[in-house]
């Protein structure tokens, strides 16, 4: 199949936006991706034709909304190859999904003196919930080191695994470094000790084929808005044996089987973890986004984005003697975190914005990682299926103009 970039770009209305009189060059895809027409239309169609609370009504609209919501769950299960849709929990995003596991798994299995293993490259969403669990229980947080290239120190990782380790929680792809971690190996090593593993797939889901059964993941989490879907919707995949053994995360409607003032019994999976009215509109839009990604092909997307990454990296390193790039891993997704000499990333991002180029600046919710490399802030360009080589050229030429002004 030919990768038709013009056809792809035509599906994203926002890409035709003018910013300060210039065509938008959107290179902040690591933060959120733009939405294709099929997603926008799915949201509009849901509100126009099937807006009713799910699972609770016998009337037509409720039944229709319920079927679309549950079909979306089945669609997610197929996309990640879960063994059953019962193992797919809808959340508000990656952050809530990790908090759910940290809270519920922690309540069931983590006690004082136990250990939780994460890595230096984690997003704050995969640090803070585990710190909070440690504060509640007296458990200890252990952190895997990384090397200068931004790769996991696997020997150090192995040394951290033991009888006290209750769970490993690791990013699939670093949102700063772009490093693609050897997830299958990480999981296998943990499983040799009987330790379950949670994988933060927020940065991987739009760029990498995810098969939770092949990986052996015990938990896998991601956000819809990172994979061309709507905001406010996310997914927690969990092995049913673990989800059954954990207590609910929140109480309320939907997650119950029977309520009395004396005692409440809980619903079966997946509803046990979905208290309250779900975002049944967002779930159907997520399904549309996954259909769109499949129509293009995840492998083709990854290959195309890698070409953009290599081209942009080559031009940066060849044309800017003072450039520094965080993350030189052998296996890397299309993200470049960089700086130029003494230019502050915020100044760089502000000037590029005036030229129509959107990049990310700051600590990217990964302060411990930046500390590891001696920085407090960094600029980041992250690519998606709809970016072009011409946009990379605009990005580089804008950097040249900014550097002349700021160096």
The DSSP element (H or E) to which 343 belongs, if any, is none
Host domain of residue 12: 5-30+297-406
User: First and final CA of the chain: distance in angstroms?
Assistant: 45
Instruction: Identify whether residues 139 and 59 lie together within a single domain.
Output: yes
Instruction: Identify whether residues 109 and 256 lie together within a single domain.
Output: yes
- Last residue within a domain, chosen from 274, 295, 316: 295
Closest among 286, 230, 248, 241 to 77, alpha carbons compared: 286
- The reply to whether 201 falls in a domain is yes
Residues tagged active-site: 365
Cα–Cα dist 10/393, whole Å: 20
Token look-up 């997704």 returns 333
For 126-143, how does the pLDDT look when each residue is reduced to its tens digit (9 = 90+)? 999 999 999 999 999 999
- The reply to whether 76 falls in a domain is yes
Q: What's the pLDDT score for residue 407?
A: 81
Cα–Cα dist 32/28, whole Å: 7
Positive or negative: CA dihedral 287, 293, 224, 250: positive
Beta strands in 239-287, from DSSP E residues, in sequence order: 256-259, 264-266
Cα–Cα dist 124/367, whole Å: 8
Closest among 346, 279, 333, 348 to 302, alpha carbons compared: 333
- The reply to whether 66 falls in a domain is yes
Instruction: Identify whether residues 22 and 160 lie together within a single domain.
Output: no
- Phi first, then psi, for residue 165 (nearest 5°) are -75, 120
Residue 53 is encoded by which pair of tokens? Answer: 């609370």
List CB contacts of 261: < 8 A, sequence separation 6 or more: none
DSSP count for the chain of H helices, then E strands: 14, 17
Residue 291 is encoded by which pair of tokens? Answer: 């259909």
Instruction: Identify whether residues 220 and 250 lie together within a single domain.
Output: yes
Cα–Cα dist 313/297, whole Å: 24
Q: What's the pLDDT score for residue 120?
A: 98
List CB contacts of 363: < 8 A, sequence separation 6 or more: 370, 376, 377, 378
- The reply to whether 35 falls in a domain is no
CATH code, domain carrying 275: 3.40.640.10
User: Which parts of the chain have pLDDT scores under 70?
Assistant: 1
Residue 254's region, left for phi above 0, alpha for psi from -120 to 50, else beta, is left
- Phi first, then psi, for residue 195 (nearest 5°) are -100, 125
The DSSP element (H or E) to which 25 belongs, if any, is strand 25-26
> Is the distance from CB of 150 to CB of 179 less than 8 angstroms?
yes
CATH code, domain carrying 344: 3.90.1150.10
Residue 231's region, left for phi above 0, alpha for psi from -120 to 50, else beta, is beta
- Last residue within a domain, chosen from 271, 295, 319: 295
256 in helix, strand or coil? strand
Cα–Cα dist 145/130, whole Å: 17
- The reply to whether 175 falls in a domain is yes
- The reply to whether 74 falls in a domain is yes
Which one-letter DSSP state was computed for residue 231?
T
Cα–Cα dist 403/151, whole Å: 30
Instruction: Identify whether residues 103 and 224 lie together within a single domain.
Output: yes
Q: What's the pLDDT score for residue 1?
A: 57
332 in helix, strand or coil? strand
- The reply to whether 257 falls in a domain is yes
Q: How far is CA 329 from CA 118, 325, 391, in A?
A: 19, 11, 24
Instruction: Identify whether residues 13 and 51 lie together within a single domain.
Output: no
Instruction: Identify whether residues 136 and 242 lie together within a single domain.
Output: yes
> Is the distance from CB of 314 to CB of 357 less than 8 angstroms?
no
Cα–Cα dist 138/104, whole Å: 16
Beta strands in 24-114, from DSSP E residues, in sequence order: 25-26, 88-91
Cα–Cα dist 114/297, whole Å: 42
Instruction: Identify whether residues 242 and 287 lie together within a single domain.
Output: yes
Positive or negative: CA dihedral 378, 384, 387, 388: positive
Q: What's the pLDDT score for residue 2?
A: 80
Closest among 118, 173, 166, 183 to 150, alpha carbons compared: 173
Instruction: Identify whether residues 168 and 309 lie together within a single domain.
Output: no
Instruction: Identify whether residues 265 and 147 lie together within a single domain.
Output: yes
Instruction: Identify whether residues 265 and 175 lie together within a single domain.
Output: yes
Cα–Cα dist 39/137, whole Å: 42
Q: What is the pTM of this model?
A: 0.97
The count of domains in the chain is 2
Instruction: Identify whether residues 290 and 301 lie together within a single domain.
Output: no
- Last residue within a domain, chosen from 295, 329, 346: 295
């Amino acid at each position: 199949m030919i990768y038709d970039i013009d056809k792809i770009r035509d599906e994203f209305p926002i890409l035709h936006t003018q910013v300060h009189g210039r065509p938008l060059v959107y290179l902040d895809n690591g933060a959120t991706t733009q939405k294709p027409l099929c997603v926008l239309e799915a949201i509009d169609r849901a509100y126009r034709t099937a807006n009713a609370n799910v699972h609770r009504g016998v009337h037509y609209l409720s039944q229709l909304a319920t079927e679309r919501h549950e079909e979306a769950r089945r669609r997610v299960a197929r996309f990640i190859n879960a063994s059953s849709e019962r193992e797919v929990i809808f959340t508000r995003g990656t952050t809530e999904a990790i908090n759910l596991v940290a809270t519920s798994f922690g309540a069931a299995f983590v006690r004082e003196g136990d250990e939780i293993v994460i890595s230096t490259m984690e997003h704050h969403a995969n640090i803070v919930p585990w710190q909070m669990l440690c504060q509640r229980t007296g458990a200890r947080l252990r952190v895997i080191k990384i090397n200068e290239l931004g790769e996991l120190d696997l020997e150090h990782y192995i040394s951290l695994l033991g009888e006290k380790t209750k769970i490993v929680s690791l990013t699939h792809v670093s949102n700063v470094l772009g490093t693609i971690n050897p997830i299958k190996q990480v999981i296998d090593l943990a499983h040799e000790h009987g330790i379950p593993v949670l994988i933060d797939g927020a940065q991987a889901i739009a760029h990498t084929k995810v098969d939770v059964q092949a990986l052996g993941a015990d938990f896998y989490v991601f956000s819809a808005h990172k994979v061309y879907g709507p905001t406010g919707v996310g997914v927690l995949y969990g092995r049913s044996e673990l989800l059954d053994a954990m207590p609910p995360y929140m109480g309320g409607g939907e997650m119950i089987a029977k309520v009395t003032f004396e005692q409440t019994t809980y619903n079966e999976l997946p509803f046990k973890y979905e208290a309250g009215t779900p975002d049944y509109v967002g779930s159907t839009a997520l399904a549309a986004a996954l259909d769109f990604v499949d129509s293009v092909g995840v492998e083709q997307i990854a290959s195309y984005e890698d070409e953009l990454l290599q081209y942009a990296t080559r031009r940066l390193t060849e044309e800017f003697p003072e450039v520094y790039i965080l993350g030189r891993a052998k296996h890397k997704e299309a993200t470049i975190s960089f700086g130029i000499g003494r230019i502050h990333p915020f100044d760089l991002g502000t000037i590029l914005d005036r030229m129509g180029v959107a990049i990310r600046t700051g600590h990217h919710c990964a302060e411990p990682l930046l500390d590891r490399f001696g920085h407090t802030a960094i600029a980041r360009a992250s690519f998606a299926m709809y970016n072009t080589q011409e946009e990379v050229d605009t990005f580089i030429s804008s950097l040249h103009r900014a550097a002349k002004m700021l160096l």
